[in-house]
Amino acid sequence: MPERTEAIIRPDVACRLVMNHATVRETMDMAAFVDACARRDLAGVSIWGEEIDRIGEDRAHRILKDSGLAVLGYNRAGPVIGAAGAQAASRLDAARREIERAARFGADHVMLFTGGLPAGDKDLGAHRARLGEMLAGLLDHARACGVGLALEPLHPMLCGDRTILTSLGDANDLCDRLGPGVGVVVDVYHVWWDARLEHEIARAGAAGRILGFHVNDWLVPTRDILRDRGMMGDGIIDLAGIWRQVRMAGFGGPVEVEIFSDAWAGREPDEVLDTAIERCRSIFAV
Ligand code: ZN
């Protein structure tokens, strides 16, 4: 899988940097975003289904094709848990459709978003135990569509409402059970605190399952767990150190900038992109 992640980046593109649209989605629609990334000679983009809907799928296809940019991540399939009965079945159907759309856009991988605990339900253990079974069907579909399924463990503070997958170790365990076609995305914001991080990165790398490396930073204090991520270098994460571990584990793919931040969403998008690129060049040498 790392080979596949590497191969989608055009050989003539020296830059090993991918921009996630979430970083500037409040100030740039998908057309403007793709254009801005192409002008900066980035290796690729990660895209969002809602943003495709805003400009229309045909136009989104056309602008991506004209730009020559690779699509690394597609956001997203899910949530898949947190509902019962007919609603649960319709969530799985919706996730299947998102997997199909990720494949139509030639994405390397589709981000799987588990969802948090259902309202009033406290049985976290039961939901975690069932997650593998639930993902197995979606993984079969992703395999058939030819797109990787990416599990991104989120910070444990998001366990209540966003995800029940909260450590890289748990994501690795799930991948071990599920088999080929599923991998992990290492997002520094979500995993930097983990004492077992280096071990779990090495484990994911040895299995050839690191699909992506998302960067941003952890600010002190963090005022909002969802919308207060920092620009790389403004926080306390050892970004260069984690990048070294990911590279040592055999990951040959690009660095992907993904910053959800109300502070940065209020700035000029060109300034945000240029700052992010400059920081990545100095921290990751991409
Ligand atoms: Zn991420």
Residue by residue, pLDDT tens for the chain (286 residues) are 444 445 455 545 556 999 999 999 999 999 999 999 999 999 999 999 999 999 999 999 999 999 999 999 999 999 998 777 788 889 999 999 999 999 999 999 999 999 988 888 899 999 999 899 999 999 999 999 999 999 999 999 999 889 999 999 999 999 999 999 999 999 999 999 999 999 999 999 999 999 999 999 999 999 999 999 999 999 999 999 999 999 999 999 999 999 999 999 999 999 999 999 999 999 999 9
Cβ burial of 54 (10 Å; 0-12, 13-18, 19+) is: middle
Q: How many whole angstroms from 48 Cα to the centroid of ligand 1?
A: 12
Q: How many whole angstroms from 150 Cα to the centroid of ligand 1?
A: 10
Q: How many whole angstroms from 216 Cα to the centroid of ligand 1?
A: 9
Residue 115, sorted as left (phi over 0), alpha (psi -120 to 50) or beta, turns out to be: left
Q: How many whole angstroms from 233 Cα to the centroid of ligand 1?
A: 17
Q: How many whole angstroms from 120 Cα to the centroid of ligand 1?
A: 27
Token pair for 250: 């055999």
Q: Distances from the Cα of 90 to the Cαs of 35, 83, 110, 235, in angstroms? A: 35, 9, 19, 40
Q: Tell which residue, 270, 218, 280, 229, has the closest CA to residue 18.
A: 280
Q: Which residues pair with 78 in a beta bridge?
A: none
Query: Contact 20/258 with Cβ under 8 angstroms?
Result: yes
Please give the pLDDT value at position 83: 78
Distance (Å, whole) CA 252 – CA 43: 13
Q: How many whole angstroms from 35 Cα to the centroid of ligand 1?
A: 22
Q: How many whole angstroms from 75 Cα to the centroid of ligand 1?
A: 10
Question: Could you tell me which residues come within 8 angstroms of residue 286 by beta carbon, excluding any fewer than 6 positions away?
Answer: 15, 16, 17, 254, 255, 280
Phi, psi of 111 (to 5 degrees): -80, 125
Distance (Å, whole) CA 242 – CA 193: 11
Q: How many whole angstroms from 211 Cα to the centroid of ligand 1?
A: 11
Q: How many whole angstroms from 258 Cα to the centroid of ligand 1?
A: 6
Q: Tell which residue, 207, 71, 224, has the closest CA to residue 147.
A: 71
Q: How many whole angstroms from 74 Cα to the centroid of ligand 1?
A: 11
Q: How many whole angstroms from 114 Cα to the centroid of ligand 1?
A: 13
